[in-house]
Amino acid sequence: MNRQNDLITDILLASVKYADRPSMVIEETTYTYAGLFEKVWSICACIRSVKPNVIGIMAENTVETYASVLAVLFAGKTYVILHPSYPDSRNLQIIRQAGIEVLLHDGSVPVGFARSEGVVCISVSGEAIPVSAEPYYMTHAETDAYIIFTSGSTGEPKGVPISRSNLNAFYRAYSQLGWKLDETDRMLQMFELTFDVSVVSFLYPLTLGACVYTVSSGGLKYLNVLDIMERHSLTFAAVAPSVLRLSRPYFNEISLPALKYLVVTAEASDVNIISEFRRCIPNASVVNLYGPTEATIYCTAYSIPYHDCKHHNGMVAIGRPFHGMEIVIADEEGNPLPSGQTGELWVGGAQVMAGYWKNPQKSAECLVATADGKVYYRTGDLCYQDADGDIFYCGRKDTQVKVQGFRIELAEIEYRVKQYYDNKTNAVVIPLYEEDGHCNLHLVLERPSDDTAALEQFLQNELPPYMLPRRIHFMNSFPLNASSKTDRKKIMQLI
């Protein structure tokens, strides 16, 4: 196929060339490219004349949801994903921040909270949309393709807008990683649509004419992932390392000979688990991909060898920058550090966002222009680079952590807890890591031991499930460090 280096154009070309081939398998139902795009053009006809540019989509594991994403992109608009498992209050925060006036949904989940905000809710289920519509496609490079809202330290989600120019820069670089894939491949999409890895897991296969297999949210997700990979003989899978960690007891029973590529992503990858899992994927190349949401999904890659895998304290190296991306490892003053020295990783290039959504102050804190006019995003990740040019991840320099692949501001959880106690109780959230790198959140309260049922219910109403603390501890008083600040390291030791 003659690829155009424009993601949306290439999907359109593939949809015509491979009209009769399977495009997606969702909940064991197969949809051809022709069937998928009949829904896409119908939804596109519903929204292309609406005035708002930002369109909300309620995420469900249905063909209507995925068709809605494509329809918004083809209509030249910007999509924002809302998740039905998130509290209504959080979805409303995102609606207000993004200025969402239109919400697409498949009719299977309640959207009354959005209607109460004055949002026009359009059901895109089969019988509620036009049965046919002519293909329609428009795009402008600087129009945002999507906005992803991540955790924010003040209790307000933080919007990361990714333009079509950013997305195409990523697409060109990702395509140059050497994948040998075509329309016969079967590729996994296991990530929530609120998480940016879902973008490439869903859209990239469609540029090839390949088939995307999505994962049901019901039951144990990691078992669903393994079941789909094995039963459908998938050839490409991008997974969070937690999938491998949880499936470790079953490695002797797992056999995936059809798999050509395994991508590990979203969290630090444990070198030992990767090594052990090799026996399950005898024919697969394994690649570690890293990137912050602000730099469009991934921006570095490391092909993990069978032997002598590079790592730092058991965490697999994150490799070298994508084509068109540059990195700097900087000290506290912003001076570049030589190889071997640890500092903050800065990433620059065409994949980096222009700035946070309607938040110039936060943008100024995280985007820095160097003397040569280049703009870098300060990732907050501590890294170093070896003499070969490979980058090693060493942890965070701030209070952000990753849980299930989602980047979390610990301060946001603390903010909600203090809100519950009318700011009369101090609280800290401590991330505790297991040997394989899995992160568990522990909430510590500076107050006498008490029943936590009401607090837990409050947090469930305010925060997504992945942000909820696993355990709650009590201390009569927090230890202080030499600067008379709460000593988080000491608290970590004490619990």
Name the phi and psi angles at 227, rounded to 5.
-60, -45
**Per-residue pLDDT tens for 359-405?**
999 999 999 998 888 999 999 998 999 999 999 998 777 666 778 77
pTM of the model: 0.84
Q: What is the pLDDT of residue 483?
A: 46
Residues lower than pLDDT 50 in the chain:
131, 483-484
Q: Which two tokens stand for residue 35?
A: 């069937």
Query: Exposed, middle or buried, 440 (CB in 10 Å: 0-12/13-18/19+)?
Result: middle
**Per-residue pLDDT tens for 184-229?**
999 999 999 999 999 999 999 999 999 999 998 777 888 999 999 9
**Per-residue pLDDT tens for 46-62?**
898 888 899 999 999 99
Query: Exposed, middle or buried, 231 (CB in 10 Å: 0-12/13-18/19+)?
Result: exposed
Q: What is the pLDDT of residue 134?
A: 58
Q: Which two tokens stand for residue 358?
A: 């309607």
Query: Exposed, middle or buried, 239 (CB in 10 Å: 0-12/13-18/19+)?
Result: buried
Name the phi and psi angles at 486, rounded to 5.
-55, 125
